[in-house]
Amino acid sequence: MLKELDALYEARWRGDVFIVDDNFIGNKKNVKRFLPELAAWSKERDYPFLFMTEASVNLADDDELLKQMRECGFLRVFVGIETPVEESLKAAQKGQNTRRNLVGCVHKIQDYGIEVMGGFIVGFDDDPADIFERQIDFIRESAIPLSLVSLLAAIPNTQLWRRLEREGRLINFDHSGNNTDGCSLNFVPRMDKDSLIEGYKSILRTIYDPSEYYQRSLDCLSRVNRDGAPKVSGRLSINDVLGIFRIALTLGMRDQERSFFWRFIKQLLQEHRHKVPQGLALAALGYHFRKLTEEYCGNV
């Protein structure tokens, strides 16, 4: 791991580095051996990188690990929350997400200065009729700006795929696993298909509406306490300056929702002046997700 980071450092990369692992804390013993080495490596080089990764929600149970990640400069973690419905979590064998306050877990991670990106799914057999409102409420309450919501898909040779095949509910016996393919299903859901797809679209339209998204971003910035966390070293590069200019030009002048952007910038400067780079990054990412939503669902 450190040799890979040496190569990035020698190539003069500075900024975000995504440590790709489906569950970074899957082997806590090893990761707790690694993080002090990473912290020392980063400190020696004046913290050239901010890190992102993926982890299960029980990361919130381990204060020592969260503290180590903060000291290393972890900026974001992707967490597969899936659904606030416990019956659906049990059916998906997502046991680590049950018997716990999921919103509280998200807030705990944020308290350590780490933004949470959330993965959510609708279309489980046990989803109630109000699942769409419940997902929206959860995303809003937990202050997760970057929420990746997907329709359930049966991936070949998984337990779900085999069960649906036995039940004669598979429509398409192949699936890429790409959750940006649009509003398509490869199985017959328990819920009415049209209601499921329209409910899914309603989640995306709501959470990526500019008013909703920018407020959630401000709420996230309020919760994420970066005090004591290292910052990327060095001055702004020409690419940083160009990036800021592109964001201001696209969201502040060309975008039809520019009034929301400037209100967000005003509050960002008033309430979170020391987090302006994070705020601008969230604004740009929100624009990306809104454009995807418009592509899937029509204009927001």
Q: List the chain domain ranges.
A: 16-39+46-223, 238-297
The pLDDT of residue 180 is above 90: no
Write b or e for each residue in 24-57: b if 16 or more Cβ atoms lie within 10 A of its Cβ, otherwise e: bbeeeeebeebbeebbebbeeeebbbbbbbbbbb
The pLDDT of residue 219 is above 50: yes
The pLDDT of residue 228 is above 90: no
**Cβ neighbours for 156, distance < 8 A, ≥ 6 positions apart:** 173, 174, 175
Proportion of the chain above pLDDT 70, given as a percent = 94
d(CA 143, CA 80): 15
Q: What is the pLDDT of residue 181?
A: 64
Entry pTM: 0.92
How is residue 237 annotated by DSSP? P
Which CATH superfamily is 16-39+46-223 part of? tm_1862 like domain (3.80.30.20)
The pLDDT of residue 41 is above 90: yes
pLDDT tens, 262-289? Answer: 999 999 999 998 899 899 999 999 999 9
Write phi, then psi, for 169 (nearest 5 degrees).
-110, 0
